[in-house]
Amino acid sequence: FFFFFFFFKQKTAYEISACLVGSEMCIRDRYCKFLEQLPQDSTPEVFGLHTNAQIISNTSKAKELWVDVVKMQSSSIVEVKGMNKDEKVEQVAKDILSKLKPLFEIEKIRDKLGVVISPTQAVLMQELERFNILTEHIKLSLSDLIKALKGDIAMSSDLDELSAFLYNGFLPRLWRELCPQTEKSLARWIQHYTMREDQYAGWAEKGEPAAMWLSGLHVPESFLSAHVQIACRSKGWALDKSTKITEITQLVKPSDVSEMPDTGCYITGLYMEGAKWDINQQCLVLQDPKELLFEMPLIKVIPIEANKVKLRNKLVTPVYVTQGRRNPRGDGLVFESQLTTREHPSHWILQGVCLVLNID
């Protein structure tokens, strides 16, 4: 006999055996006997995965079950404080409205920037326009919902749906269509929304941040492309033959940045799934048990000519908007980051290593 061994766990050896001499029945009996000895439930390590894969799978199933249970709850449920559904929804709507600030005065900001603006300033103007549209829609929909709850206007199907989403703590569908892809609950999304607003305000008032919080942009890839365009103009490169690479720094906070790079930029707010980054060794290492996400240090985005890119000992890692990675339409990929590895890239591909901008 010879054995093909591929994994061993206490009390169980996962191996494939074959009979070199003998009948087909001999081989069949040995295979059946061997398979009957294997445990019914195999751990992730058997398939080359980290033990955290089981935690992620169970957590995902629990979240899906919880969401379905919440959606099924009766609208006539009375809250602990004695508030019915309409009173609860009205309170949530007023609370959100109180956190909204006035729209950005885009014309004044454009005048302040001058006649000729840089590619990154053009991105800022586009981001502010999208953010204003979202803010205006939130204010209008919540104001109409409050009026409908009071009986001043008719309750339309859209307002009824909005009421159900607010009551259950989910991000309303009509808002989701106007904002970046997200899997956050309503409360966490509002917090994310206010952080985005603060970054836009600082950008418009003081200029581009030392380290851009990429998660706070509606179209983050446009900001990165703008920096490639700036580098092409200053160095005389052909835009269609230029790209960008990434370098993981040892800087942890945006305040650690002493000066902006001549070309490129620093970005922050990224998380790693499937592995973790060793800041001292500057390479990928295995996750710690029960540590499902690792917050990355600041990443430097460097524009470069495409024919000068070197990928030796690098893992080309996709950067997604959310932990859901791609949606059914295939959207969700922002760009690709190059991470140093001492293992073969296939090892990390099997682990499902990626970077994400927004965690739920």
Per-10-residue mean pLDDT, the chain, length 360: 49 55 59 77 76 83 84 59 81 95 94 91 97 97 95 91 92 92 93 96 94 95 96 94 95 90 94 93 91 93 94 94 81 93 91 90
Number of H helices, E strands in the chain: 10, 13
What DSSP element (H or E) covers 260? none
Using H for helix, E for strand and C for coil, what is the string for 75-99? CCCCCCCCCCHHHHHHHHHHHHHHH
Residue 304 has what pLDDT? Answer: 95
Residue 74 has what pLDDT? Answer: 55
Going from the C-alpha of 70 to that of each of 95, 168, 195, the distances in angstroms are: 22, 7, 28
Q: Which of 259, 264, 286, 274 is nearest to 319 (CA)?
A: 274
Residue 5 has what pLDDT? Answer: 44
Cβ neighbours of residue 360 under 8 Å, at least 6 residues apart? 183, 184, 185, 188, 322, 323
Residue 20 has what pLDDT? Answer: 41
**CA dihedral for 183, 186, 189, 193, sign (positive or negative):** positive
The pTM is what?
A: 0.84
Q: Are 275 and 353 in contact (CB under 8 A)?
A: yes
Residue 296 has what pLDDT? Answer: 95
Angle between helices 85-99 and 157-168 (to 10 degrees): 90
Residue 34 has what pLDDT? Answer: 76
Query: Maximum distance among all alpha carbons in the chain?
Result: 88
Q: Which of 53, 153, 138 is nearest to 92 (CA)?
A: 138
Cα 38 versus chain centre, distance: 38
Rounded Cα gap, residues 117 and 321, in angstroms: 28
Q: Is 272 helix (H, G, I), strand (E, B) or coil?
A: strand
Residue 247 has what pLDDT? Answer: 95
Residue 54 has what pLDDT? Answer: 82
Rounded Cα gap, residues 170 and 71, in angstroms: 10
Rounded Cα gap, residues 23 and 49, in angstroms: 37
Which amino acid, residue 217? L
